[in-house]
């Protein structure tokens, strides 16, 4: 477990062209196609500190997500944003850089909500520390949260500190047969009540809902809501397959077909789009499979959201929703301030970043 920070810094300083930062490559499919010489960050690994009673874990970027999850599980804790790994080798650096959260996101929060601090190598190879290991910290701009989801375009995350939470005492999964409109309405109504809902998924006229919390709360909510109780093992399998996109919905047409992720206000009605739909996050995240056009982008925009060409399809028009001119200018200036030579994961998010 050697410290590779210096090596990375040298690589960055010596680089004369684009560098592609890679943890395990499990998310190579995500974003615009990676380009440039590969900088393998996976070797810089290991949990640096874990304080269960302070609710914080600190790890080097190459630490496998699986290692972190099992260290936490030993103390009955978890990463509450339930990140997908998309492969056995996923690293924590990649998790934070990609900024993807799983089924629990709508109620628990996203990756950025839990990032407390980062050590970052910027585009000049300078090692910068932002945030820290404490839960409340407003000294300086909140760069650590900015880094979450920035796809490695602002710097190489060499180490990250993340807030963790206790595992719920109890869980139950319920299933309801419902059309999409009805499911969307119910998910929003339930979210407005003090119920321990921790995940929702609607697909194929079936709404699956997970309750997590104190035993008594889960039991009383589960009898109040009704539906069909899913057996524990089947439920665990279901939520994992949803998180990892191994659920039948995602597997249907293979990796080359377009899979769109639409992030929309949860109350937006069913979107009128060709292709199959899967709804998560209480209505705030919708997956659209198939369809080759840009229609999902326009549909998301109409309801105040945005669309990402998550997998497959034709990436030539860009993967992420285009930004308005002022926001775009700020993005360019931020990129230039962290990576003046524009070498880190160049183009992975937008062509000019």
Of these, 30, 81, 86, 130, which contacts another protein (CB under 8 A)? Answer: 130
Other Cβ atoms less than 10 A from the Cβ of 77: the count is 18
Find the shortest distance in angstroms from Cβ 105 to another protein.
7
Stretch near another protein under the rule CB under 8 A, chosen from 11-19, 60-68, 138-146, 269-277 = 138-146
Closest CA to 112 of 125, 131, 89: 131
Contact 209, 192 (CB under 8 A): no
Of 17, 46, 166, 179, the one binding another protein by CB under 8 A: 166
Task: Please identify which residue in 15, 71, 165, 295 interacts with another protein, judged by CB under 8 A.
Answer: 165
Choosing from 60, 104, 112, 247, the residue that interacts with another protein (CB under 8 A) is 112
Dihedral sign computed on CA atoms, order 208, 106, 255, 272: positive
> Does 254 contact another protein by CB under 8 A?
no
Tell me which stretch binds another protein (CB under 8 A): 86-94, 225-233, 269-277, 324-332. Answer: 324-332
Comparing CB distances to another protein, the nearer of 89 and 165 is: 165
Q: Between 203 and 319, name the residue whose CB sits nearer to another protein.
A: 319
Nearest residue to 121 (alpha-carbon basis) of 159, 66, 92, 173:
159
How many other C-beta atoms are found inside a 10 Å radius of the C-beta of residue 318? 16
Name residues contacting another protein, limited to 72-111 (CB under 8 A).
76, 99, 105-106, 109-110
- Please pick, from the candidates 4, 59, 79, 143, the single residue that binds another protein as defined by CB under 8 A: 143
| Alpha carbon separation from 298 to 47, 186, 295 (Å, rounded) | 43, 26, 5
Instruction: Give the range of 191-199, 236-244, 248-256, 270-278 binding another protein by CB under 8 A.
Output: 191-199
Please pick, from the candidates 296, 305, 313, 347, the single residue that binds another protein as defined by CB under 8 A: 305
Strand 19-22 and strand 37-40: the pairing is parallel
**Stretch 198-217 residues interacting with another protein (CB under 8 A):** 213-217
Secondary structure of 199-260 in HEC code, one letter for each residue = EEEEECCEEEEEEEECHHHHHHHHHHHCCEEECHHHHHHHHHHHHCCCCHHHHCCCCCCCEE
342 makes contact with another protein (CB under 8 A): no
The burial class, CB within 10 Å (0-12 / 13-18 / 19+), for 324 is exposed
**Shortest Å, Cβ 331 to another protein:** 6
Cβ atoms within 10 Å, residue 90: 22
Question: Nearest distance from residue 190's CB to another protein, in Å?
Answer: 9
Pick 24 or 160: Cβ nearer another protein? 160
Minimum distance from residue 338 beta carbon to another protein (Å): 7
Contacts with another protein by CB under 8 A: the residue count is 83
Bridge partners of 120, per DSSP, are 128, 157
User: Which of 24, 60 has the CB closer to another protein?
Assistant: 60
- Residue closer to another protein (CB basis): 237 or 341: 341
Within residues 258-297, the interface with another protein by CB under 8 A covers 263-267, 281, 284-285
**DSSP assigned state of 42:** T
Q: Does 233 bind another protein (CB under 8 A)?
A: no
Report 7-66 residues binding another protein (CB under 8 A).
51-55
Closest to 166 (Cα-Cα) out of 54, 5, 39, 34: 54
């Amino acid at each position: 477990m050697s410290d590779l920070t210096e090596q990375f810094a040298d690589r960055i300083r010596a680089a004369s062209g684009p560098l592609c930062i890679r943890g395990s490559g499990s998310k190579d499919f995500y974003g615009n196609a990676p380009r440039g010489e590969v900088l393998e960050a996976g070797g810089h690994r290991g949990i640096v500190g874990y304080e269960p009673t302070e609710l914080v874990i600190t790890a080097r970027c190459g630490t496998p997500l699986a290692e972190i999850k099992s260290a936490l599980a030993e103390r009955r804790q978890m990463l509450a944003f339930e990140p997908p790994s998309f492969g056995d080798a996923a690293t924590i650096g990649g998790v934070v850089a990609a900024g993807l959260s799983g089924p629990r996101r709508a109620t628990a929060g996203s990756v950025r909500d839990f990032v407390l601090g980062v050590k970052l190598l910027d585009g000049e190879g300078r090692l910068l520390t932002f945030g820290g290991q404490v839960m409340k910290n407003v000294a300086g701009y909140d760069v650590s949260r900015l880094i979450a989801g920035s796809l490695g375009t602002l710097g190489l995350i060499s180490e990250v500190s993340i807030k963790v939470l206790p595992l719920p005492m109890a869980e139950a999964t319920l299933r309801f047969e419902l059309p999409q409109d009805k499911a969307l309405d119910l998910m929003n109504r339930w979210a407005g009540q003090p119920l321990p809902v921790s995940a929702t998924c609607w697909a194929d006229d079936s709404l699956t809902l997970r309750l997590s919390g104190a035993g008594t709360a889960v039991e009383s909510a589960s009898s109040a809501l009704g539906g069909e109780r899913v057996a524990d093992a089947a439920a665990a399998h279901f939520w994992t397959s949803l998180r990892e996109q191994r659920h039948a919905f995602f597997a249907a047409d293979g990796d080359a077909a377009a899979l769109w992720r639409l992030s929309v206000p949860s109350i937006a009605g069913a979107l009128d789009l060709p292709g199959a739909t899967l709804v998560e996050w209480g209505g705030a995240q919708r997956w659209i499979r198939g369809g080759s056009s840009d229609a999902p982008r326009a549909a998301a925009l109409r309801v105040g959201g945005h669309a990402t060409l998550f997998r497959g399809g034709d990436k030539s028009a860009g993967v992420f929703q285009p930004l308005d001119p002022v926001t775009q200018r700020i993005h360019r200036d931020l990129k230039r301030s962290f990576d003046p030579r524009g070498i880190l994961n160049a183009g992975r998010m937008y062509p000019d970043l």
